[in-house]
Amino acid sequence: MDSQALKRRYLLVTILSGVLASLATGLVENSPEFSVIGYRYYGYPLVWRVTKTLQPAEFKLVNLLIDVLFWTAVAFSALILLEVALPRLGTKADYKAVFLSLVLFIPVGLITDVIHELGHAIWGISVGGRLTYLKVAFLEVYPRLALTSDFQLGLVKIEGLTTEFAYGLMLLGGSLTTNIASWLLALVLLRMNLGYKTRLGLRIMGVLGLLDLPFYVILPQIGLRHWVFLGGKTPEPLIGARKMGIPDPVFYAAVILVTLGLAFLYFKPFWERCWKSIKSSELWIFKVIPGLIFFSLWLDGSFFPVNSASHTLCSPR
Protein backbone atom coordinates (compact mmCIF):
# COMPACT_ATOMS: atom_id res chain seq x y z
CA MET A 1 0.00 0.00 0.00
CA ASP A 2 1.44 3.42 -1.00
CA SER A 3 2.08 6.08 1.63
CA GLN A 4 -0.81 8.34 0.58
CA ALA A 5 -3.37 5.53 0.79
CA LEU A 6 -1.93 4.48 4.14
CA LYS A 7 -2.24 8.03 5.49
CA ARG A 8 -5.86 8.23 4.31
CA ARG A 9 -6.65 4.95 6.01
CA TYR A 10 -5.05 6.12 9.26
CA LEU A 11 -7.03 9.37 9.08
CA LEU A 12 -10.28 7.48 8.51
CA VAL A 13 -9.57 5.11 11.41
CA THR A 14 -8.78 7.94 13.85
CA ILE A 15 -11.90 9.94 12.88
CA LEU A 16 -14.14 6.87 13.10
CA SER A 17 -12.62 5.99 16.48
CA GLY A 18 -13.26 9.53 17.70
CA VAL A 19 -16.91 9.43 16.61
CA LEU A 20 -17.57 6.02 18.16
CA ALA A 21 -15.85 6.93 21.43
CA SER A 22 -17.83 10.18 21.67
CA LEU A 23 -21.13 8.38 21.07
CA ALA A 24 -20.17 5.78 23.69
CA THR A 25 -19.69 8.55 26.27
CA GLY A 26 -23.38 9.30 25.82
CA LEU A 27 -23.82 6.47 28.35
CA VAL A 28 -21.33 8.01 30.78
CA GLU A 29 -22.91 10.18 33.46
CA ASN A 30 -20.94 13.39 33.91
CA SER A 31 -22.84 15.59 36.34
CA PRO A 32 -21.60 19.19 36.67
CA GLU A 33 -20.91 20.75 40.06
CA PHE A 34 -24.23 22.58 39.91
CA SER A 35 -27.08 20.62 38.31
CA VAL A 36 -30.85 20.75 38.07
CA ILE A 37 -32.85 18.25 40.13
CA GLY A 38 -34.31 15.59 37.84
CA TYR A 39 -31.72 16.19 35.10
CA ARG A 40 -29.00 13.68 34.25
CA TYR A 41 -25.96 14.68 32.22
CA TYR A 42 -24.02 12.45 29.81
CA GLY A 43 -20.94 12.84 27.61
CA TYR A 44 -17.22 13.27 28.17
CA PRO A 45 -15.30 15.53 28.42
CA LEU A 46 -18.24 17.86 27.63
CA VAL A 47 -21.87 17.02 28.33
CA TRP A 48 -23.78 16.57 25.06
CA ARG A 49 -26.85 14.60 26.19
CA VAL A 50 -29.19 15.70 28.98
CA THR A 51 -32.15 13.61 30.10
CA LYS A 52 -35.05 15.15 32.00
CA THR A 53 -37.75 13.47 34.04
CA LEU A 54 -40.85 12.92 31.86
CA GLN A 55 -39.35 15.09 29.09
CA PRO A 56 -37.48 14.40 25.82
CA ALA A 57 -33.69 14.26 25.97
CA GLU A 58 -31.74 17.37 24.99
CA PHE A 59 -28.75 17.07 22.65
CA LYS A 60 -25.96 19.68 22.51
CA LEU A 61 -24.42 19.19 19.07
CA VAL A 62 -21.60 21.73 19.53
CA ASN A 63 -20.42 19.88 22.64
CA LEU A 64 -20.70 16.58 20.75
CA LEU A 65 -18.49 17.96 17.97
CA ILE A 66 -15.88 19.10 20.52
CA ASP A 67 -15.96 15.66 22.13
CA VAL A 68 -15.43 14.06 18.71
CA LEU A 69 -12.37 16.26 18.16
CA PHE A 70 -11.05 15.35 21.62
CA TRP A 71 -11.41 11.60 21.12
CA THR A 72 -10.05 11.82 17.58
CA ALA A 73 -6.93 13.44 19.07
CA VAL A 74 -6.72 10.60 21.61
CA ALA A 75 -7.03 8.02 18.82
CA PHE A 76 -4.34 9.82 16.81
CA SER A 77 -2.02 9.81 19.84
CA ALA A 78 -2.59 6.07 20.26
CA LEU A 79 -1.75 5.57 16.58
CA ILE A 80 1.49 7.53 17.00
CA LEU A 81 2.33 5.32 19.98
CA LEU A 82 1.81 2.18 17.88
CA GLU A 83 3.74 3.49 14.87
CA VAL A 84 6.59 5.42 16.52
CA ALA A 85 7.10 4.62 20.19
CA LEU A 86 6.80 0.83 20.08
CA PRO A 87 9.37 0.34 17.28
CA ARG A 88 11.88 2.28 19.40
CA LEU A 89 11.38 -0.32 22.14
CA GLY A 90 12.20 -3.06 19.67
CA THR A 91 8.63 -4.24 19.06
CA LYS A 92 6.04 -3.81 16.35
CA ALA A 93 2.32 -3.14 16.55
CA ASP A 94 0.10 -6.14 15.83
CA TYR A 95 -2.97 -4.48 14.28
CA LYS A 96 -4.87 -7.74 14.14
CA ALA A 97 -4.51 -8.08 17.90
CA VAL A 98 -5.41 -4.40 18.40
CA PHE A 99 -8.62 -4.71 16.37
CA LEU A 100 -9.64 -7.98 18.02
CA SER A 101 -8.94 -6.44 21.44
CA LEU A 102 -11.29 -3.56 20.68
CA VAL A 103 -14.00 -6.01 19.59
CA LEU A 104 -13.59 -8.12 22.74
CA PHE A 105 -13.17 -5.22 25.16
CA ILE A 106 -16.87 -4.49 25.80
CA PRO A 107 -18.07 -8.08 26.42
CA VAL A 108 -14.95 -8.95 28.43
CA GLY A 109 -15.24 -5.69 30.38
CA LEU A 110 -18.87 -6.49 31.15
CA ILE A 111 -17.86 -9.92 32.52
CA THR A 112 -15.20 -8.25 34.67
CA ASP A 113 -17.81 -5.78 35.95
CA VAL A 114 -20.12 -8.69 36.87
CA ILE A 115 -17.24 -10.37 38.76
CA HIS A 116 -16.59 -7.13 40.66
CA GLU A 117 -20.22 -6.67 41.70
CA LEU A 118 -20.64 -10.34 42.59
CA GLY A 119 -17.50 -9.98 44.72
CA HIS A 120 -19.25 -7.31 46.79
CA ALA A 121 -22.28 -9.56 47.15
CA ILE A 122 -20.36 -12.75 47.99
CA TRP A 123 -18.09 -11.18 50.59
CA GLY A 124 -20.97 -9.20 52.07
CA ILE A 125 -23.16 -12.29 52.41
CA SER A 126 -20.23 -14.29 53.83
CA VAL A 127 -20.00 -11.91 56.81
CA GLY A 128 -23.70 -11.89 57.58
CA GLY A 129 -25.15 -9.37 55.11
CA ARG A 130 -28.22 -9.67 52.93
CA LEU A 131 -28.28 -8.82 49.24
CA THR A 132 -31.18 -6.48 48.43
CA TYR A 133 -30.24 -5.12 44.99
CA LEU A 134 -27.80 -5.87 42.16
CA LYS A 135 -27.49 -4.13 38.81
CA VAL A 136 -24.87 -4.16 36.03
CA ALA A 137 -25.03 -1.74 33.09
CA PHE A 138 -28.66 -1.74 31.89
CA LEU A 139 -29.49 -5.10 33.50
CA GLU A 140 -31.15 -5.34 36.89
CA VAL A 141 -30.15 -8.77 38.21
CA TYR A 142 -31.70 -8.84 41.69
CA PRO A 143 -34.36 -8.88 43.18
CA ARG A 144 -35.82 -9.25 39.67
CA LEU A 145 -34.33 -9.76 36.24
CA ALA A 146 -35.18 -6.77 34.05
CA LEU A 147 -33.73 -4.25 31.60
CA THR A 148 -33.63 -0.62 32.71
CA SER A 149 -33.40 2.60 30.69
CA ASP A 150 -30.51 4.14 32.63
CA PHE A 151 -26.88 2.95 32.53
CA GLN A 152 -24.81 2.30 35.65
CA LEU A 153 -21.53 0.46 35.63
CA GLY A 154 -22.63 -1.39 38.75
CA LEU A 155 -24.80 -1.00 41.82
CA VAL A 156 -24.96 -3.31 44.83
CA LYS A 157 -26.94 -2.91 48.03
CA ILE A 158 -26.09 -5.09 51.02
CA GLU A 159 -27.93 -4.70 54.30
CA GLY A 160 -27.63 -6.26 57.75
CA LEU A 161 -23.91 -5.84 58.38
CA THR A 162 -23.27 -5.17 62.06
CA THR A 163 -19.51 -4.50 62.33
CA GLU A 164 -17.01 -2.14 60.75
CA PHE A 165 -14.87 -5.12 59.72
CA ALA A 166 -17.76 -6.74 57.87
CA TYR A 167 -18.66 -3.49 56.10
CA GLY A 168 -15.03 -2.93 55.16
CA LEU A 169 -14.61 -6.45 53.77
CA MET A 170 -17.70 -5.96 51.65
CA LEU A 171 -16.33 -2.69 50.25
CA LEU A 172 -12.96 -4.25 49.53
CA GLY A 173 -14.55 -7.44 48.18
CA GLY A 174 -15.28 -6.14 44.67
CA SER A 175 -11.71 -5.25 43.69
CA LEU A 176 -10.34 -8.12 45.78
CA THR A 177 -12.37 -10.62 43.77
CA THR A 178 -11.31 -9.26 40.37
CA ASN A 179 -7.70 -9.28 41.57
CA ILE A 180 -7.97 -12.93 42.60
CA ALA A 181 -9.58 -13.71 39.23
CA SER A 182 -6.66 -12.00 37.50
CA TRP A 183 -4.14 -14.22 39.30
CA LEU A 184 -6.14 -17.34 38.38
CA LEU A 185 -6.33 -16.26 34.73
CA ALA A 186 -2.57 -15.64 34.68
CA LEU A 187 -2.00 -19.23 35.88
CA VAL A 188 -4.43 -20.55 33.23
CA LEU A 189 -2.59 -18.64 30.49
CA LEU A 190 0.76 -19.98 31.70
CA ARG A 191 -0.33 -23.61 32.04
CA MET A 192 -2.87 -24.24 29.28
CA ASN A 193 -2.51 -24.30 25.52
CA LEU A 194 -5.46 -22.20 24.31
CA GLY A 195 -6.49 -20.74 20.97
CA TYR A 196 -5.41 -17.25 19.95
CA LYS A 197 -8.79 -15.57 20.45
CA THR A 198 -9.41 -17.32 23.76
CA ARG A 199 -5.98 -16.33 25.07
CA LEU A 200 -6.50 -12.73 24.00
CA GLY A 201 -9.93 -12.53 25.66
CA LEU A 202 -8.63 -14.02 28.90
CA ARG A 203 -5.61 -11.73 28.77
CA ILE A 204 -7.82 -8.64 28.44
CA MET A 205 -9.94 -9.83 31.37
CA GLY A 206 -6.82 -10.46 33.42
CA VAL A 207 -5.42 -7.00 32.69
CA LEU A 208 -8.75 -5.39 33.68
CA GLY A 209 -8.61 -7.38 36.91
CA LEU A 210 -5.05 -6.19 37.41
CA LEU A 211 -6.05 -2.53 37.00
CA ASP A 212 -9.28 -2.70 39.03
CA LEU A 213 -7.65 -2.43 42.47
CA PRO A 214 -4.95 0.24 41.85
CA PHE A 215 -7.29 2.36 39.71
CA TYR A 216 -10.03 2.29 42.35
CA VAL A 217 -7.56 3.20 45.08
CA ILE A 218 -5.72 6.03 43.30
CA LEU A 219 -7.93 7.69 40.66
CA PRO A 220 -10.84 8.83 42.88
CA GLN A 221 -8.29 10.55 45.13
CA ILE A 222 -7.19 12.80 42.26
CA GLY A 223 -10.69 13.76 41.12
CA LEU A 224 -11.33 10.96 38.60
CA ARG A 225 -13.58 7.91 38.75
CA HIS A 226 -12.80 4.24 39.14
CA TRP A 227 -12.20 3.81 35.40
CA VAL A 228 -11.14 7.42 34.71
CA PHE A 229 -14.63 8.67 33.78
CA LEU A 230 -16.74 5.61 34.63
CA GLY A 231 -17.54 4.12 38.01
CA GLY A 232 -17.32 5.17 41.63
CA LYS A 233 -16.10 8.54 42.86
CA THR A 234 -14.61 7.37 46.17
CA PRO A 235 -11.63 4.99 46.76
CA GLU A 236 -13.81 2.10 47.84
CA PRO A 237 -11.04 -0.48 48.50
CA LEU A 238 -9.06 2.01 50.60
CA ILE A 239 -12.12 2.87 52.70
CA GLY A 240 -12.84 -0.83 53.13
CA ALA A 241 -9.28 -1.58 54.22
CA ARG A 242 -9.40 1.22 56.78
CA LYS A 243 -12.66 -0.05 58.22
CA MET A 244 -11.04 -3.48 58.55
CA GLY A 245 -8.23 -1.88 60.57
CA ILE A 246 -5.50 -2.28 57.94
CA PRO A 247 -2.91 0.54 58.21
CA ASP A 248 -2.53 2.69 55.08
CA PRO A 249 1.19 1.87 54.50
CA VAL A 250 0.46 -1.88 54.70
CA PHE A 251 -2.48 -1.61 52.34
CA TYR A 252 -0.61 0.53 49.80
CA ALA A 253 2.38 -1.82 49.94
CA ALA A 254 0.08 -4.79 49.28
CA VAL A 255 -1.58 -3.00 46.33
CA ILE A 256 1.81 -2.16 44.82
CA LEU A 257 3.16 -5.69 45.26
CA VAL A 258 0.17 -7.52 43.75
CA THR A 259 -0.03 -5.00 40.90
CA LEU A 260 3.66 -5.38 40.06
CA GLY A 261 3.38 -9.16 40.30
CA LEU A 262 0.46 -9.31 37.89
CA ALA A 263 2.07 -6.76 35.56
CA PHE A 264 5.18 -8.95 35.37
CA LEU A 265 3.11 -12.05 34.53
CA TYR A 266 0.99 -10.38 31.85
CA PHE A 267 3.69 -8.19 30.26
CA LYS A 268 6.92 -10.09 30.85
CA PRO A 269 8.33 -9.70 27.29
CA PHE A 270 7.52 -5.98 27.30
CA TRP A 271 9.28 -5.39 30.65
CA GLU A 272 12.33 -7.30 29.46
CA ARG A 273 12.61 -5.02 26.41
CA CYS A 274 12.04 -1.93 28.57
CA TRP A 275 14.77 -3.02 30.98
CA LYS A 276 17.23 -3.40 28.13
CA SER A 277 16.34 0.10 26.90
CA ILE A 278 16.68 1.54 30.42
CA LYS A 279 20.09 -0.02 30.94
CA SER A 280 21.31 1.50 27.69
CA SER A 281 20.13 5.03 28.53
CA GLU A 282 19.96 7.54 31.37
CA LEU A 283 16.18 7.13 31.72
CA TRP A 284 16.48 5.42 35.12
CA ILE A 285 18.46 8.24 36.70
CA PHE A 286 16.61 11.22 35.29
CA LYS A 287 12.99 9.98 35.11
CA VAL A 288 12.25 6.80 37.05
CA ILE A 289 13.98 7.69 40.33
CA PRO A 290 12.46 11.24 40.53
CA GLY A 291 9.08 9.67 39.74
CA LEU A 292 9.42 7.22 42.63
CA ILE A 293 10.45 10.05 44.98
CA PHE A 294 7.43 12.11 43.94
CA PHE A 295 5.09 9.14 44.47
CA SER A 296 6.57 8.50 47.93
CA LEU A 297 6.05 12.14 48.91
CA TRP A 298 2.46 11.94 47.67
CA LEU A 299 1.84 8.88 49.86
CA ASP A 300 2.98 10.86 52.89
CA GLY A 301 0.20 13.43 52.29
CA SER A 302 -3.44 13.34 53.32
CA PHE A 303 -5.73 10.59 52.08
CA PHE A 304 -9.38 10.36 51.30
CA PRO A 305 -11.32 10.85 54.56
CA VAL A 306 -13.62 8.14 55.88
CA ASN A 307 -16.81 9.69 57.19
CA SER A 308 -19.46 7.04 56.52
CA ALA A 309 -21.19 5.50 59.51
CA SER A 310 -23.72 3.50 57.51
CA HIS A 311 -23.47 -0.26 57.18
CA THR A 312 -25.40 -0.44 53.93
CA LEU A 313 -23.49 -0.46 50.65
CA CYS A 314 -25.19 1.62 48.01
CA SER A 315 -22.33 2.24 45.65
CA PRO A 316 -23.23 3.51 42.17
CA ARG A 317 -20.27 2.96 39.86
Assess whether 98 and 246 both reside in one domain. Answer: yes
Q: Give me the count of residues in the chain.
A: 317
The residue among 50, 78, 93 that closes a domain is 93
pTM: 0.74
Please give the Cα distance from 281 to 63 (Å, whole number).
44
Per-residue confidence (pLDDT) for residue 277, from 0 to 100: 66
> Cis omega (within 30 of 0) on the bond before 87?
no
Please give the Cα distance from 227 to 298 (Å, whole number).
21
Number of domains in the chain: 2
Assess whether 22 and 103 both reside in one domain. Answer: no
Comparing C-alpha atoms, which of 155, 148, 159, 149 is closest to residue 134?
155
Assess whether 57 and 189 both reside in one domain. Answer: no
User: Domain range holding 163?
Assistant: 94-314
Assess whether 99 and 195 both reside in one domain. Answer: yes
Per-residue confidence (pLDDT) for residue 308, from 0 to 100: 41
Mean pLDDT of the chain: 84
Per-residue confidence (pLDDT) for residue 305, from 0 to 100: 53
**Which parts of the chain have pLDDT scores under 70?**
1-3, 6, 85-91, 93, 270-317
Per-residue confidence (pLDDT) for residue 103, from 0 to 100: 82
Please give the Cα distance from 209 to 182 (Å, whole number).
5
